[in-house]
Amino acid sequence: MNKVKNLTILGSTGSIGVSTLNVVARHVDRYRVIALTGQRQDEVLFEQCVRFKPRYAVLLDEAAAARLTTRLSHAGSATQVMQGAAALEFVAALPEVDTVMAAIVGAAGLNPTLAAARAGKKILLANKETLVMAGRIFMDAVQKSGATLLPIDSEHNAIFQALPNGYASADWPISGVSKILLTASGGPFRNTPLAQLQHVTPEQACAHPNWSMGRKISVDSATMMNKGLEVIEAHWLFNAPAEAIQVIVHPQSIIHSLVQYVDGSVLAQMGNPDMRTPIAHGLAYPERMTSGVAPLDLLKVAALNFEAPDFVRFPCLALAYQALRAGGTAPAILNAANEVAVAAFLERRISFLTIAKIIAEVLVRLPANTTLTLQDVLAADAAARDVAQNLISSEINNSELKNKAHIA
């Protein structure tokens, strides 16, 4: 690699953002940080600015941006602070930027990630919600601008590595490929007695056995909605129909996913569960570079287990397949209802099991629109949020449910 690459990290204050900076810090001769962004964590962003000296720092929150401006000017920093959603799109599309790490959580990532796609950047995609909400629109934008799209979600990064080179240009079926096997850890409640699930707390849901992640994706892993979103993500990334994407529970999270070929071969990508591996893969692609992740010791791992997913225990996984098959705006509705329900669970306003009930009900109440523009997607997202909020309010007025939701 000869030329230094200029980098924007959307969501630098989060789990993926911090891991990305950890990898970048190991290769300061290869990457220059141009922009860092966060929602409102000005203290974390301040430290990152002092260390990585970006040209721009963006915060969504006005008060947090004002605090950051003051602190950076006292520290004699040349970083320019910007504020608001439009600034996220601005730093994603800057002409001098080569690579954009899309690591904002949730629907808030859609517009800035789309801006990077339209500007033809190399996009390292962690924000799976972009593809869930607007898969067709996003993939079209990537193709039209000639952007390079590299999956960072560990499963999709594994599939990318196990597929034949140049898969992106091929229509399904990709030559010789019969199936994608998407692995799932099963999360913290894989073996929890069903009767106890009603009472699990946000702390328990966020204590993932193998991965350290942000709170939203941790709850998604506990409901297995994360795997459902990933099925939809795989559908768009690899052009694969729902029938060709099979979820396999693999509790050790050592195999990050597999590709099955027509001749009986199955290729897996393995490694310790640490997001710095797919991040380094995406950053260096098509080369390889160190990530800080310890080499995999298979003798220590000793056993790799597999089981079928339990669709009764994890109704969110079934809801995601249902939304994928319904198509149109259904996945955007699923995603928005999930975001609202997960936030309510994290605020202890609803119980763990109510998350799936809310999403199922929103999908029933809002029929999917099949004509698909960005406006359709944003309208479906807003409508689903409204319906979900109303359902949650009525749940909360129901004292019996309220009591259940508050049992710690």
- Per-residue binding string, ligand NAD, 21-60, x by CB under 6 A, is -----------------xx-x------------------x
Edge-to-edge strand list for the sheet holding 245-249: 245-249, 177-184, 255-261, 266-270
> Residue 281: which of ligand NAD, Mg ion, none does it interact with, CB under 5 to 8 A by kind?
none
**Encoded tokens for 113:** 């990630």
> 12 by DSSP, 3-state: which?
coil
Q: Report if residue 157 touches ligand NAD, rule: CB under 6 A.
A: no
**Encoded tokens for 100:** 């954009």
Q: Binding ligand NAD by CB under 6 A: which of 122, 128, 190, 276?
A: 128
Q: How far is the CB of 31 from ligand NAD (least distance, A)?
A: 18
Whether the CB-CB separation of 254 and 272 falls below 8 Å is answered with yes
Binders of ligand NAD in range 331-370 (CB under 6 A) = none
Binders of ligand NAD in range 188-227 (CB under 6 A) = 211, 213-214, 216-217
# chain residues binding ligand NAD, by CB under 6 A: 26
Binders of ligand NAD in range 269-308 (CB under 6 A) = 275
Q: How far apart are the C-alpha atoms of 182 and 381, rounded to whole Å?
A: 26
Residue 121 vs 216, nearer CB to ligand NAD: 216
- Per-residue binding string, ligand NAD, 60-99, x by CB under 6 A, is x---------------------------------------
Peptide bond into 164 cis (omega under 30): no
> Residue 100: which of Mg ion, ligand NAD, none does it interact with, CB under 5 to 8 A by kind?
none
**Encoded tokens for 117:** 């796609």
Single-letter amino acid code for the residue at 42: D
One-character DSSP codes across 165-233: TTGGGSPSSPTTEEEEEEEE---TTSSS-HHHHTT--HHHHH--SS----HHHHHHHHHTHHHHHHHHH
Whether the CB-CB separation of 339 and 347 falls below 8 Å is answered with no
Q: How far is the CB of 85 from ligand NAD (least distance, A)?
A: 7
Q: Binding ligand NAD by CB under 6 A: which of 6, 7, 8, 14?
A: 14
Of 155, 157, 152, 250, give the one whose Cα is nearest residue 209. Answer: 250
Binders of Mg ion in range 142-161 (CB under 5 A) = 153-155
**Encoded tokens for 405:** 């939701």
Q: How far is the CB of 363 from ligand NAD (least distance, A)?
A: 20
Q: How far is the CB of 127 from ligand NAD (least distance, A)?
A: 4
Contact footprint for Mg ion (CB under 5 A): 153-155
Contact footprint for ligand NAD (CB under 6 A): 11-17, 38-39, 41, 60, 103-105, 108, 126-129, 153, 211, 213-214, 216-217, 275
